[in-house]
Amino acid sequence: MKLVLVANARIPSQRAQSVQLMHTASAFHRAGAAVTLLTADRRKKVALPEGQDVFSYYGIASDARPKLETAPCTDWVDGVPVLLQYFPARVQELTFARNAAKQVLERHTHSLVYSREIESARHLVKRGLERVFLELHRVPGSATRRRWLLDAARGVRGVVAISGGVREDLIALGVEAARIRVEHDALDPQRFRRPPDRDVARDELSLSKHGPVVVYTGGLLAWKGADLLIDAARKLPAVQFVIAGGMDKDVERLKLLAHDLANFRVDGFQAPTRVPLYLAAADVTVVPNRSEPLISAKYTSPLKIFEAMALGVPIVASDLPSIREILEHERDAVLVPPDS
């Protein structure tokens, strides 16, 4: 079977989305499909470390590597201030969707298409392609994009929702329940087969071997709640807090907020292959999602939860519907009130 996985994403990038995409494509390959990962030809990408290609950077085994393609798009998002990025971001999305659909129709006519993008799926079903599946991580808020979602969902073979919250709102919107399957995020266990010893990990990260260490991994968007850990660090001076992840601007913001704390360290973005090192050094990992917006409370399926579970690291997480789909209080984790 030939399969094209379509996603409007940078590869490589600093976002967890890129990790999920690369390993999803790899998993389809392991399952026997001939996989092409089709992503956006964006301007600004993460520079690969010397001696690494994109596959070794993401920890993809040599026998499970998909073919990589990019589709062109109009990309001037990063060239304007954040407050003015809405319009160029929409242009980028729509031009990628159009060009990705065109590329699929020209090069992959007989392939099954698995799209993470409403717009590209909609373009393909409008052009008569029948072998299309759509994966959704949220339900859009705007009336226009909801119409587009319904157009796509009614024409594809099936819809994959990453949480029950996404499924619930898709049904409320008018998508037939029988067409929706819930598949939470997951991971490739091969990445975590040989984690370093805790003392070795702490030595490599220059962390004390004697005090408790709390680790947060992942992005630093406001709804992910990493800033709440600053208050915790002020109340627990004997505990070392380590933040591994985030875009540069968010890292600098968090460093500024915590500039007076000796027990709060912000290491910034880490290559995916280094995440197990941070988790191996931890006594506890945290998932402090805020109660708003909906993506946090209802839709998200955090990759960091599955990574921590793979290494058996204790988890403290926000008690939210999205998190309770994955974790049970006092069985898998300790769940605490959000925003606290």
**Omega into 293 within 30° of 0, i.e. cis?**
yes
What local confidence, expressed as pLDDT, does residue 46 receive? 81
What local confidence, expressed as pLDDT, does residue 176 receive? 96
What local confidence, expressed as pLDDT, does residue 77 receive? 86
**Single-letter residue type at 51:** G
Q: Which domains does the chain carry?
A: 2-182 (3.40.50.2000), 192-336 (3.40.50.2000)
Please choose, from the candidates 120, 87, 110, the residue with its C-alpha nearest in 3D space to the C-alpha of residue 7: 120
What local confidence, expressed as pLDDT, does residue 292 receive? 96
> Do the beta carbons of residue 7 and residue 37 sit within 8 Å?
yes
Task: With a cut of 70, list the residues of the chain below it in pLDDT.
Answer: none
> Do the beta carbons of residue 125 and residue 132 sit within 8 Å?
yes
Global pTM? Answer: 0.93
First to last CA, the chain: 48
**Single-letter residue type at 232:** A
DSSP string, 173-184: HT--GGGEEE--
Partners of 335 in beta bridges: 317
What local confidence, expressed as pLDDT, does residue 144 receive? 93
What local confidence, expressed as pLDDT, does residue 101 receive? 96
CA 83 to chain centre: 23
Partners of 265 in beta bridges: 242
Q: How far apart are CA 173 and CA 302, in angstroms?
A: 24
**Single-letter residue type at 238:** A
What local confidence, expressed as pLDDT, does residue 317 receive? 99
> Do the beta carbons of residue 314 and residue 284 sit within 8 Å?
yes
What local confidence, expressed as pLDDT, does residue 262 receive? 96
Angle ∠(175,177,181) on CA atoms, nearest 5:
105
Q: How many CB atoms lie within 10 A of CB 229?
A: 21
Q: How far apart are CA 276 and CA 290, in angstroms?
A: 25
What local confidence, expressed as pLDDT, does residue 233 receive? 98
What local confidence, expressed as pLDDT, does residue 78 receive? 81
DSSP string, 130-151: --EEEEES----SHHHHHHHHH
